[in-house]
Amino acid sequence: MRPDSASQIAGLIFALVLINPEGLIVEANHAAEVLLGTSANRLIGTKLIDRIGPIDARVEARLMRADDALVARDLVIRVGAADARVNLTASPLSGYPGWSVVTLSQIGHDEAAHPASGDAMLGAPAVLAHEIKNPLAAIRGAGQLVARKLPPEDQKLARMITDEVDRIARLIDRMQQLGSTRTGPVDACNPHEAIRTAVSTMRAAGTERGDFEIREEFDPSLPPVLANRDALEQVLINLISNGRDAAVSTGEPALITVQTRFVSGLAFSAIRNGRAVPLPIEITISDNGPGIDPSLRDHVFEPFVSSKPSGQGLGLSLVRKLVRDMNGNVSHERDHRAGLTHFRLHLPQAQDES
């Protein structure tokens, strides 16, 4: 059967609302409920500007003229207590004066719904890795043989060869992880145990890159999360490590905060296989570093994009892949008032078997 118009609108991954001549919302799809953090029943009968304002005065003025078409890119709106960046369109309905359809497509929040352009490259690492690793093994073996025949004062050059080969091999391993299409099994696990393991790993790594403090702010009533424990720990280690590097770079006391909370209702969910998957478990890693370069903020989850001078640009790409494999979302935002950068994980809750 061919889907009707209502089914097509309900399946859209971007928010869509119908506005009447009085400027009130009369219909809203599921993605609008997700973005605006409330149900359609509560949205209907309210003004859109009251739900997303205050916004740019020029955009608001154009929205008030319902018979004018409008396209606004990278618009900052207010959703609850947080800011969000969206692309907004307003389309007047021919033959229905004063009526319009408004769409809101969020930028950077649901990385799974807006795949990065670099995803086309994710298959390349698996293809190239084997061909690269074979000669690397031969180079490393030759370096070790040469080291045995060199005088002590020259052996450091041979060690440099083997060290660089090992570094390249580790890079290839990470690229293989990024390009893998295999996903690990998910099961119910305690998110706080995974966090504490990741924090312990970071603390055990020492303070070679500067002193830093990790603060835990946990919701003790948080239910189990449906995730792959090893993958979740890897994600947390990557995000905490990035936060530490950013925070210590300022020369000020570096603070990393790991916070958990349960987000009830429709505030966060993802569209998976044509259906909504609630993601009520939120883990936030915050740092007091300088934040991400504005020119990179829309691309930080893409391969080979990094703000670090010696960065490889694979850490956050791997984070996104692992989180997607667990049916979750990862996003980032900058709180300019508090001087904090937040990376947020939203993951599904494990079902109670009873």
Domain range 5-106, CATH class: alpha beta
pLDDT score at 138: 74
Closest alpha carbon to 231 in 91, 328, 160, 140: 328
pLDDT score at 13: 79
Mean pLDDT (10-residue bins), the chain, 354 residues:
78 86 91 84 91 86 83 83 82 88 75 42 53 70 80 80 75 61 76 91 65 90 91 90 86 89 67 67 93 78 63 73 88 89 92 58
Biggest CA-to-CA distance, the chain: 89
Please state the three-class secondary structure of 297-317 as a single string. CCCCCCCCCCCCCCCCCCHHH
Superfamily in which the 187-347 domain is placed by CATH: Histidine kinase-like ATPase, C-terminal domain (3.30.565.10)
Q: Against a cut of 0.85, is the pTM above it?
A: no
120 DSSP 8-state letter: G
DSSP string, 52-103: H-S--HHHHHHHHSTTS-EEEEEEEEEETTEEEEEEEEEEE-TTSTT-EEEE
Where residue 334 falls (left for φ over 0; alpha for ψ -120 to 50; beta otherwise) is beta
